[in-house]
């Protein structure tokens, strides 16, 4: 270090508005140097506000999706896209979601965004009233230690989802917006090669929320444990897990 004031390098930092690029047909069978040139895009920026907390946001154009970044403290977001017409889709937590009652909703901005340069568009999340959903899951007595059992309700149109803790007796309670849902059940299993695995039972049954609290009970099918050895032709036998 030396006494004095820096005048800088005389160059500006490179633009952060670079678009992702995907290359197909690359045959990576040996060490290869592969150079790519990324194209500049435009920023869609704004603030996500309303009765809830934005978690993710994407700009959609046909089958193309461009993911954005949200500042969890200010609600400001930025998405980098090429010129075009886009629909903004936000995933958010409605008011009433807690650590043991995790609810996620999606919202599509009804007005398209025309992008031919850096563009500002603020997103106001809709109010989603939540109603109580409770009940029990029978057949849990044969499961491993009840650490982390979860029941998840997914809306038929994928607009809402809620995940709730399940107690040792199979009981659960949570809150969901109006909608038609299908329930699934997740059982964490500790041990094995990876140290942690999870078994998910899908389509336990339906539940409909329509402006009032709902009781929905479910039954787990009988689960069986499968064990065996993995062998690869021409290779030594994979050792068993301790």
Size of the chain in residues: 242
Residue pair 176/163 in contact (Cβ under 8 Å)? The answer is no
Residue 107 shares a structural domain with residue 164? no
Statement to judge: residues 100 and 147 lie in one domain: no
88-124 pLDDT per residue, tens: 999 999 987 776 678 999 999 999 999 999 999 999 9
CB-based contact 120:46 (threshold 8 Å): yes
- Contact 109/119 with Cβ under 8 angstroms? no
Q: Is residue 92 part of a domain?
A: yes
pLDDT value at residue 239: 59
Q: Of residues 31 and 161, which shows the higher confidence score?
A: 161
Q: In angstroms, what CA-CA distances link 18 with 21, 70, 91, 221?
A: 9, 18, 24, 50
Task: Quote the CA–CA distance of 67 and 81 in Å, as a whole number.
Answer: 9
Q: Which residues contact 56 (CB under 8 A, 6 or more apart)?
A: 67, 68, 70, 90, 91
Q: Specify if 79 maps to a domain.
A: yes
Number of domains composing the chain = 2
Domain extent at residue 79 = 42-116
3-state secondary structure of 156: coil
Domain final residue, candidates 83, 116, 149: 116
| Reported pTM | 0.75
CATH classification of the domain holding 185: 2.60.40
pLDDT band at 84, cuts 50/70/90?
very high
Query: How many Å apart are CA 126 and CA 112, to the nearest integer?
Result: 17
Question: Do 148 and 83 reside in the same domain of the chain?
Answer: no
State the burial class of residue 240 (Cβ atoms within 10 Å of its Cβ: 0-12, 13-18, 19+). Answer: exposed
Q: Name the percent of the chain lying above pLDDT 70.
A: 83
In a domain, 161, yes or no: yes
The token pair at 22 is 């995907």
- pLDDT at position 192 is 53
Asked if 139 and 108 sit in the same domain, the reply is no
Looking at the domain assignment, is residue 211 inside a domain? Answer: yes
Beta bridge partners of 46: 77
Within this chain, do residues 111 and 137 fall inside the same structural domain, yes or no? no
Residues 109 and 142 reside in one and the same domain: no
What the block records as the tokens of 213 is 């609290």
Chain mean pLDDT for the chain: 84
Q: Is residue 142 part of a domain?
A: yes
One DSSP character per residue, 63-117 reads TEEEE-EE-TTT-EEEEEE-SEEEEEEEEEEETT--SSEEEEEEEE-SS-EEESS
């Amino acid at each position: 270090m030396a006494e004095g004031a820096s005048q800088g390098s005389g160059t500006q930092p490179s633009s952060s508005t670079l678009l992702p690029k995907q290359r197909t047909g690359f045959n990576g069978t040996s060490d290869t140097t592969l150079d790519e040139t990324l194209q500049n895009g435009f920023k869609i920026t704004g603030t996500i506000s309303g009765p809830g907390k934005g978690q993710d946001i994407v700009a959609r154009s046909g089958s193309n999706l461009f993911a954005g970044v949200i500042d969890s403290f200010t609600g400001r977001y930025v998405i980098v896209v090429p010129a075009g017409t886009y629909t903004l889709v936000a995933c958010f937590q409605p008011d009433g979601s807690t650590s043991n009652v995790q609810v996620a909703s999606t919202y599509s901005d009804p007005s398209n965004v025309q992008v031919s340069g850096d563009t500002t568009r603020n997103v106001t999340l809709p109010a989603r009233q939540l109603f109580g959903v409770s009940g029990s899951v029978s057949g849990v007595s044969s499961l491993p230690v009840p650490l982390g059992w979860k029941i998840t309700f997914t809306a038929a149109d994928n607009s809402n989802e809620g995940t709730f803790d399940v107690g040792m007796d199979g009981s659960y309670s949570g809150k969901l917006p109006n909608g038609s849902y299908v329930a699934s059940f997740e059982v964490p299993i500790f041990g094995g090669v990876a140290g942690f695995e999870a078994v998910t039972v899908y389509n336990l049954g339906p539940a409909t929320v329509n402006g009032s609290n709902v009781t929905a009970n479910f039954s787990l099918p009988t689960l069986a444990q499968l064990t065996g050895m993995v062998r690869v032709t021409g290779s030594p036998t994979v050792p068993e897990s301790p």
